[in-house]
Amino acid sequence: MALRMNLSGCRIQAITAAIGSNDSVILDRASTHLSDILSDVSARLKAQAWLQTLVGTGYPLRSARQPPALQDDGSLLVHHLEAEIHICAIHSLVQALNQEDYLDLAGESSHWSHPAITALSDDLRACGFTRSDECPASLFTWLSALSYGTPLFGDGFQTEWSFYSFVANEELQSVIADLAVAMAYERPLPDYIPDDVRKTMNTRLSDNGQEFARELSGWFERIQQAGQDAYVIWW
């Protein structure tokens, strides 16, 4: 079954501030939510232990670590990967920190599955936008974030059924602007191309791509204007 998009507002600073805070109220709230979403006892105990580590003693953020590097003996690179239990723990922490003003757009966004991101990327390539001078470099950054996630602690995800993405508020305006340019783009075709061939060529986003881009832009604009960061849990 395809992963579904569940989008909401959050504040990344509140999440990182909770790491190592040893705040028992936050831990209790997150633990309660974790019990609600994980029925497997073994997985729940492991996720609970990770949650206790995050809030109780803390753990270095991925952004604070040096990227994996080759050792002098030439041994294989060591990567830290987040699995399902880590994803569930982070999601429970996000929910524990949820405020009344946070936008909950899961009901609106969950009709889109993860292949919509892949389809949008394919659409942008097929119509020539990604190869055009109008395509901003930032587009590839946030497309990658939505496609593969943004782990807070791991170098990546090792998961079969879920992952999460964060997009900071200051980055949302760029995403919105990129989508506006992409939706308006139409590739110019040389005059020598016959009319019958022109009709078969993609020169702009497909109708489905336009719809997804328009809805995504609208959701991000609402979150940006609310002064919040965007959080997507795919599952």
Q: Is residue 71 part of a domain?
A: no
pLDDT exceeds cutoff 90 at 198: no
Evaluate whether residue 74 is within a structural domain. Answer: no
Pairing of strands 81-82, 156-157: parallel
Global pTM reads 0.94
Is 47 within 8 Å of 64 (Cβ atoms)? no
Number of domains in the chain: 1
In a domain, 70, yes or no: no
In a domain, 214, yes or no: yes
Taking the C-alpha atoms of residue 11 and residue 223, their distance in angstroms, rounded to an integer, is 11
Share of the chain above pLDDT 90, in %: 93
**What value does the mean pLDDT of the chain take?**
96
pLDDT-derived band of residue 161, with 50, 70 and 90 as boundaries? confident
Of the candidates 24, 86, 81, 15, the one whose C-alpha atom is nearest the C-alpha of residue 51 is 86
Residue 72 lies in a domain: no
Domain span including residue 212: 5-63+79-234
Domain assignment present for 171: yes
Distance CA 26, CA 32 (A): 10
Pairing of strands 163-167, 81-82: unpaired
Question: Is residue 53 in a domain?
Answer: yes
- Summarize pLDDT for 56-81 with one digit per residue, the tens: 999 999 999 888 889 999 999 999 99
Q: Is the per-residue pLDDT at 2 higher than 80?
A: no
Residue 1: pLDDT band by 50, 70, 90 thresholds? Answer: low
Q: Which residues lie closer than 8 Å to 46 by C-beta, 6 or more apart?
A: 85
Q: What is the pLDDT of residues 14-38, one digit of tens each?
A: 999 999 999 999 999 999 999 999 9
Nearest by Cα to 70 from 60, 59, 80, 78: 78
Instruction: Let me know if residue 68 belongs to a domain.
Output: no
| pLDDT > 70 fraction of the chain, expressed in percent and rounded | 100
118, HSE (Cβ side, Cα atoms, 13 Å): 6
* Residue 68 confidence (pLDDT): 87
Q: How many CA atoms lie within 13 A of 185 on its CB side?
A: 30
pLDDT, tens digit (0-9, with 9 covering 90-100), for 132-154: 999 999 999 999 999 999 999 99
pLDDT score of 195 more than 70: yes
